[in-house]
Amino acid sequence: ISFNNVDSSLSSLRNCQSYINTGMDIATHVALDLVESFNDVEDVNSMEKVMIEYAAMDRELNHYMRAIEETVNQIKREKPENIPDLKSLVHEKFTAMESKNSDSDLQKNEKYMYFKDQLKEMRKQCNGEEAIEQIDEDIAVTQSQMNFICPITQMEMKKPVRNKICGHTYEEEAILKFIQTRKQQKKKVRCPKIGCSHSDVKGSDLMPDEALKRAIDSQNKQ
């Protein structure tokens, strides 16, 4: 049995998934713009609904692709004499997966979690600026600028990335170079932030900190 057409269909579905990911990235940037510029709660909430819809589409695509892959693997294992009804087999597996759906699944979507995390950080940055009037301005600015310094280079970050495990931020190039060096030495990477006990920093745990980057850019413009 030839599965060339199946492979072609899977490739098309993966392209669709990449468009969904791009849409989620755009929705995240729009939401951050709203918080930074207008702080319009209603508009931000509408972007969150868009993210949930994207997450639902992403889940459905994942289930469908998994159903196809499992069906193909099953047929390859069993090697039937007659060509089975692929469509029915895939639909059966897909329906079984979809029947286990829950709202909590959508909130565990990696890009949705990133969206929520960055919104939280952006609001923190914006609220911090409003609070400057209530406390000593010099202290506030100094504390803010300290958060902009990379613990590795001791310089202001240009492309900050945050560790999903411990929450600390570093300059992207510096931490990746640090990880690579330690890997060559066959050693684990301890978080370079003083006082942090996390002892196994991985490149896969790093994510761009768009909210912090915007705060740094805003501070420099002022």
Note whether residue 114 is domain-resident.
yes
Residue count of the chain: 222
| Full domain range(s) for residue 7 | 3-127
Task: For residue 102, tell me if it sits in a domain.
Answer: yes
Indicate if 204 and 106 belong to the same structural domain. no
- Within-domain flag for 153: no
Do 122 and 164 fall into the same domain? no
Identify whether residues 59 and 168 lie together within a single domain: no
Count of structural domains within the chain: 2
Q: What is the pLDDT along the chain (222 residues), one digit of tens a residue?
A: 567 888 888 999 999 999 999 999 999 999 999 988 876 788 888 999 999 999 999 999 999 999 999 999 988 888 877 778 888 999 999 999 999 999 888 999 999 999 999 998 888 877 655 444 444 444 344 444 557 899 999 999 999 999 999 999 999 999 999 999 999 999 999 999 988 999 999 999 999 999 999 988 888 886
Indicate whether 121 and 27 sit together in one domain: yes
Residues 174, 165 contacting (CB under 8 angstroms): no
* The last residue of a domain, from among 72, 103, 127: 127
Question: Beta-carbon neighbour count of residue 9 at 10 Å?
Answer: 14
In a domain, 27, yes or no: yes
Give tens-digit pLDDT for 133-142. 444 444 344 4
Q: Do 96 and 11 have their domain in common? A: yes
pLDDT tens figures, 50-62:
999 999 999 999 9
Cα–Cα distance measured from residue 111 to residue 106, given in angstroms and rounded to the nearest whole number: 10
Q: What is the CATH number of the domain that holds 185?
A: 3.30.40.10
Q: Is residue 138 part of a domain?
A: no
Shared domain check, 19 and 118: yes
* Residues 9 and 112 placed together within one structural domain of the fold: yes
- Three-class DSSP category at 132: helix
- Residues 44 and 94 placed together within one structural domain of the fold: yes
Position 1 scores a pLDDT of 58
Indicate if 20 and 117 belong to the same structural domain. yes
Is 133 contained in some domain?
no
Nearest to 208, CA basis, from 110, 106, 127, 141: 110
Tell me whether residue 151 is in a domain.
Answer: no
Question: In whole angstroms, what is the distance from residue 54 CA to residue 164 CA?
Answer: 22
Asked whether residue 146 is assigned to any structural domain, the reply reads no
Quote the CA–CA distance of 208 and 118 in Å, as a whole number: 9
Residues 16 and 85 in one domain: yes
Q: Which of 72, 106, 127 is the last residue of a domain?
A: 127
Domain edge (last residue) among 127, 149, 170: 127
